[in-house]
Amino acid sequence: MVLVAGAGATAGVVWFLNRVDTPSVQRCAAELDGTSWYLTPVQADNAALIVGSSVQRGLPGRAATIGLATALQESRLVNIDYGDRDSVGLFQQRPSQGWGTVDEIMDPVYSTGKFYDGLVEVDGYEDLEVTVAAQAVQRSGFPDAYAQHETRSRAWASALTGHSPGAITCDLPPTEDDEAPSGAAARDLLAERGARDLGLPADALRADTSDQDVNAVVVDATAVPLDGELATWAVAHWAVATASVSGAQEVRADAQVWTREDGTWSVVDDDADRRPDGQVTIVLS
C-alpha cells in the first residue's frame, strides 16, 4: 500500500485530482447535488470497473464508495506498477502480505475482487465511516487519509449504480485523435469490457438494426442485477465512463443522448429516438 508521507503528500493527492478540473484537460465528471466531481478518462475507466464489480456481487452502493475512496488514495485510481515497498496495482496490495503475485495484483479485476473479498469480511462495514472500513481491509500506515476522497467517491458510486440520470459526462477528443478501435474490433472490445465490468452476457449485446448507423449496439440493461431504471442508467453511465477505451461516439438512454462531440447529455427531439425501457444504445467508431 502507498504510505502518505504527511500533510504535504496528502495535499499533493488533492492537487492532482483538482488539476483535472480545468477546461483544457480531457476529463469526466459525476454530478452530485449540483457539484461536478472530476476524474481523468483513465481514472473514470477504472472507476467503472470498481463500481461494476460491486454491482456484479450484489453489494450495496456503500461498498462501491469505499472501494473508490480506497483506490483514489492508494493509487490515484491508476493501475500503477510501483508503490511503497512491494505494493502495486489499483489498491497497492503487497505480494509479501499475501494479496497475490505481482502479475495477479496488476490485473485490476483480480485486485478489485481481492479488495471486496476483504471488505465483506468487515462486520458492519456499511455503517462504518469510509476511512474506518477502508483501513480494516488495507491496514495502511496512514488510516485517516481515505476520508478526503469520500464525497468524490460517493458521487461516482451513486452515478455508476444508476442514480441521477445523465450524471456522468466526459469531454474526450475525436476518436481519430486517439487509439480507440473501430468497426468489429470496437464491438468486440465493448462486449469484452461489458462482461468484465458488469457481467453482461454475450447475448445482452446485439446490433441495432433499427438504427441507420451500422456501428450502433443495443445493450439489454436488464441483464445487470439492478432494478428498473437503475440498471438502464448504470449501463449508460458505464458506457460514457469507458468511452475513452471503447471509442463510443454516442450513448442513448431513455429520452437522453450523450455525444462525444458535445461531451454532455441532452434530451432527444423526436420521441422516435427515445430508447425503450431497459435498453441502452451505444454508437461506436
Task: Report d(CA 17, CA 4) in Å as an integer.
Answer: 15
pLDDT digits (tens, 9 = 90+) for 57-86: 999 999 999 999 999 999 999 999 998 899
Where does residue 254 fall: left (phi above 0), alpha (psi -120 to 50 degrees), or beta otherwise?
left
Residues 156 and 211 in one domain: no
Using the 3D structure, point to which of 106, 139, 160 is the last residue of a domain: 160
Per-residue pLDDT at 5 exceeds 60: no
Task: Report d(CA 105, CA 71) in Å as an integer.
Answer: 13
Give the N- to C-terminal CA distance of the chain in Å, as an integer.
Answer: 38
Cα dist from 24 to 20, 40, 46, 146, whole Å: 9, 12, 22, 28
Q: Does 168 map to a domain? A: no
Residues 16 and 151 in one domain: yes
Per-residue pLDDT at 151 exceeds 50: yes
Residues 35 and 154 in one domain: yes
Q: Does 141 map to a domain? A: yes
Domain count, the chain: 2
pLDDT at position 101, please? 97
User: Which pLDDT band holds residue 177 (cuts at 50, 70, 90)?
Assistant: low
Q: Does 167 map to a domain? A: no
Residues 183 and 132 in one domain: no
pLDDT at position 4, please? 39
Where does residue 284 fall: left (phi above 0), alpha (psi -120 to 50 degrees), or beta otherwise?
beta
**Most confident stretch, 175-179, 189-193, 205-209:** 189-193
Q: Which residue has the higher pLDDT, 252 or 210?
A: 252
Residues 148 and 12 in one domain: yes
Helix (H) or strand (E) segment spanning residue 50: helix 41-56
Residues 254 and 134 in one domain: no
Could you tell me the three cell numbers for 71?
483506490
Is residue 34 classed as helix, strand or coil in its secondary structure? coil
10 Å Cβ neighbour count for 27?
22
- Across 51-85, b (16+ Cβ under 10 Å) vs e yields bbbbbbbebebbbbbbbbbbbbbbbbbbbbeebee
pLDDT at position 129, please? 96
Helix (H) or strand (E) segment spanning residue 206: strand 205-207
Nearest to 257 by CA among 268, 248, 249, 271: 268
pLDDT at position 285, please? 85
Per-residue pLDDT at 38 exceeds 90: yes
Q: Are 92 and 72 in contact (CB under 8 A)?
A: no
Residues 75 and 137 in one domain: yes
Residues 90 and 31 in one domain: yes
Residues 246 and 145 in one domain: no
Q: Are 46 and 71 in contact (CB under 8 A)?
A: yes
pLDDT at position 83, please? 87
Q: Are 200 and 219 in contact (CB under 8 A)?
A: yes
**What CATH number is attached to the domain comprising 30?**
1.10.530
| Cβ-based neighbours of 24, under 8 Å, separated by 6 or more | none
Tell me the residue range of the domain where 97 lies: 6-160
Largest CA distance in the chain: 58
Residues 85 and 185 in one domain: no
Could you tell me the three cell numbers for 59?
453489494
DSSP string, 61-119: HHHHHHHHHHHHHHHTTS--S--STT-BTTTTB-GGGTS--HHHHTSHHHHHHHHHHHH
Residues 252 and 199 in one domain: yes
Task: Report d(CA 214, CA 200) in Å as an integer.
Answer: 21
Task: Report d(CA 162, CA 145) in Å as an integer.
Answer: 28
Residues 56 and 85 in one domain: yes
User: Which pLDDT band holds residue 17 (cuts at 50, 70, 90)?
Assistant: low
Question: What's the whole-number mean pLDDT along residues 134-156?
Answer: 92
pLDDT digits (tens, 9 = 90+) for 258-281: 999 999 999 998 887 899 999 999
